């Protein structure tokens, strides 16, 4: 520990002792109540914030370079001025003197203190910016601001939170290949334990400004030690796009990176709803050649329910009984889908031709089952320990997209929504956020000569 750091330490200890002694004046465990203990915690939080702010301000000041000029990237930057500015740290706002430099003939200024400390976004220190970006993946900026004010020592405004989240989200988009590659390198051993890899993709509607409701996409990769034990999950999400080229590019890369680590004996299954685009995408990935395709069992069950409504429109008890019977057959019997089709065709034949609506609904379900018959071998898949429901994907649409982008009254620009989805997939995917944040910081870090 150098002399300057020792001075910072001594001053921080003195402030801590004085503040804590003052805060504990009159506090006694003998007459403690829940309300008094809550006040004790708030006092301790204030003390930690005060000390933390002091230490961060001291180190920020020590990061400054006050010289006539500095050389970097083949250019000479001259000292322009020195003044103080306010910075948002994890422990609160501080004011710090720093020196600003500028090269002749250039408008862009350089602040060595900010570069050394990793102050990239709107005068926010790295941990403060990280909390804003991470938090915005979960909460809207105004709610995150309220949370910080109520329970945290930093007090950012929602505008800064929004700007930081957007900038980080855009940066993560630029690193969309580097992040999964780094995850694979660091977590290969974990993936080698996987016995099953389930791949799924699905879409959900998002309200896009000036365009209305359009479909955003989510891709999911889950690694299982067994059918019941999840080792890891990762997500890819893309705002609505025509042709889905960007989503498919990202998801394909994620799948290829995922399968590079998996042992040869691991089983892979591709899950989706009845959309032909799902199967076409899986078919386009060479590594998935010959891997079983599975129509999501929940989608199939839902279609059975629609058929039951048409077959027994005025008899809820028989409707429920038929639906549950063939749901069980579909899941547990070999050729269960064919058995369900035969039953639907029989009931269709008993419905008068004048009742076109009922007949049309049943025909649609029969067509859906017949088209996807080769992907509805649920008993066969179960016997091999493979999942048959893409509930992981259905849930992903709700958690990745719906839980953040489909709140009441929300409308999104494509870039703005994508920035949030980039943050959210990194937060919700296992092992991803720390790697993504590290890549982001390193990408923007520049050494000062």
Q: How confident is the model at residue 248 (pLDDT cuts 50, 70, 90)?
A: very high
Average pLDDT over residues 270-282: 91
The matching CATH number, chosen from 2.60.40, 1.20.1070, 3.30.420, 3.40.50, for 178-296+389-439 is: 3.30.420
Taking CA atoms, 191 is separated from 178, 198, 234, in Å, by 18, 13, 12
Burial of 86 per CB tally in 10 Å (0-12, 13-18, 19+): exposed
**pLDDT value at 449 more than 60:** no
> Is the pLDDT reported for residue 445 higher than 80?
no
Residue-by-residue DSSP string for 384-416? TT----THHHHHHIIIIIIHHHSSTT--B-HHH
Measure the CA–CA gap between 403 and 137, rounded to whole angstroms: 10
The Cα 171–Cα 175 span in angstroms is 7
Q: Is the model's pLDDT at 447 over the cut of 70?
A: no
Q: What's the CA gap between 208 and 41, in Å, rounded?
A: 44
pLDDT tens by residue, 414-433: 999 999 999 999 999 999 99
Per-residue pLDDT, averaged over 341-358, amounts to 95
Burial class (CB in 10 A: 0-12, 13-18, 19+), 435: buried
136 contacts 121 by C-beta, under 8 angstroms: no
In the prediction, which pLDDT does 192 show?
A: 87
Give pLDDT tens digits for 318-342.
999 999 999 999 999 999 999 999 9
Asked if residue 266 lies in contact with residue 197, where contact means CB atoms within 8 angstroms, the answer is: yes
Average pLDDT taken over every residue of the chain: 92
CA distance 400 to 393: 10
CA distances from 295 to 138, 200, 204, 391 (A): 31, 10, 17, 11
Alpha helix ranges (H) inside 137-244: 141-151, 158-174, 178-192
Give the model's pLDDT for residue 448. 47
Place of tokens 């009254």: 409
CB atoms within 10 A of CB 150: 8
Q: Evaluate whether 93 touches 123 at the Cβ level (below 8 Å).
A: no
| C-beta atoms surrounding 41 within 10 Å | 10
Pairing relation of β-strands 267-272 and 293-295? Answer: parallel
For residues 381-393, average pLDDT = 81
Cα 96 from Cα 86, distance rounded (Å): 7
Computed on alpha carbons and rounded to an integer, the radius of gyration of the chain in Å comes to: 29
Does residue 51 carry a pLDDT above 90?
yes
Comparing 56-60, 112-116, 190-194, 355-359, the range with the smallest average pLDDT is 190-194
Angle at the Cα of 68 (from 65 to 72), degrees rounded to 5?
65
- The pLDDT value recorded for residue 108 is 82
C-alpha 413/C-alpha 283 separation (Å) is 31
- So where are the chain's domains? 3-61, 63-174, 178-296+389-439, 298-375
């Amino acid at each position: 520990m150098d002399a300057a750091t020792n001075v910072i330490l001594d001053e921080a200890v003195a402030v801590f002792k004085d503040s804590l002694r003052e805060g504990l004046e009159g506090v006694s465990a003998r007459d403690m109540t829940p309300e008094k203990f809550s006040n004790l915690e708030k006092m301790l939080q204030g003390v930690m914030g005060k000390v933390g702010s002091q230490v961060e301000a001291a180190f920020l000041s020590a990061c400054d370079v006050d010289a006539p000029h500095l050389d970097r990237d083949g250019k000479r930057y001259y000292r322009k001025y020195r003044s103080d500015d306010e910075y948002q740290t994890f422990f609160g706002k501080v004011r710090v003197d720093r020196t600003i430099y500028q090269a002749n003939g250039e408008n862009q200024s350089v602040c060595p203190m900010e570069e050394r400390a990793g102050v990239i976004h709107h005068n926010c220190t790295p941990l403060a910016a990280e909390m804003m970006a991470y938090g915005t993946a979960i909460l809207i900026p105004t709610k995150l601001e309220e949370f910080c004010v109520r329970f945290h020592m930093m007090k950012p405004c929602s505008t800064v939170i929004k700007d930081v989240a957007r900038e980080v989200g855009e940066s993560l988009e630029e690193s969309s290949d580097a992040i999964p590659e780094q995850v694979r390198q660091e977590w290969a051993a974990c993936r080698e334990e996987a016995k099953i890899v389930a791949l799924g993709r699905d879409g959900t509607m998002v309200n896009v400004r000036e365009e209305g409701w359009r479909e955003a996409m989510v891709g999911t990769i889950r690694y299982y030690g067994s059918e019941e034990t999840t080792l890891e999950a990762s997500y890819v999400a893309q705002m609505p796009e025509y042709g889905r080229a960007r989503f498919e590019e990202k998801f394909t890369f994620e799948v290829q990176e995922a399968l590079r680590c998996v042992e040869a004996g691991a089983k892979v299954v591709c899950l989706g709803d009845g959309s032909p685009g799902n199967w076409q995408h899986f078919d386009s990935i060479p590594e998935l050649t010959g891997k079983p395709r599975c129509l999501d069992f929940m989608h199939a069950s839902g279609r059975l329910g629609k058929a039951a409504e048409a077959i027994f429109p005025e008899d809820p008890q028989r409707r429920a009984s038929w639906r549950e019977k063939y749901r069980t057959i579909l899941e547990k019997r070999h050729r269960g889908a064919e058995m369900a089709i035969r039953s639907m065709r029989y009931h269709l034949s008993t419905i008068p031709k004048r009742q076109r609506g009922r007949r049309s609904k049943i025909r649609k379900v029969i067509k859906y089952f017949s088209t996807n018959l080769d992907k509805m071998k649920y008993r066969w898949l179960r016997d091999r320990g493979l999942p048959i429901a893409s509930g992981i994907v259905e849930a992903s649409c709700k958690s990745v997209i719906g839980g953040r982008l489909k709140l009441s009254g929300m409308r999104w620009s494509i870039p703005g929504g994508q920035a949030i989805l980039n943050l959210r997939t990194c937060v919700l995917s296992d092992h991803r956020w720390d790697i993504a944040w590290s890549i982001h910081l390193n990408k923007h870090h520049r050494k000062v000569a």
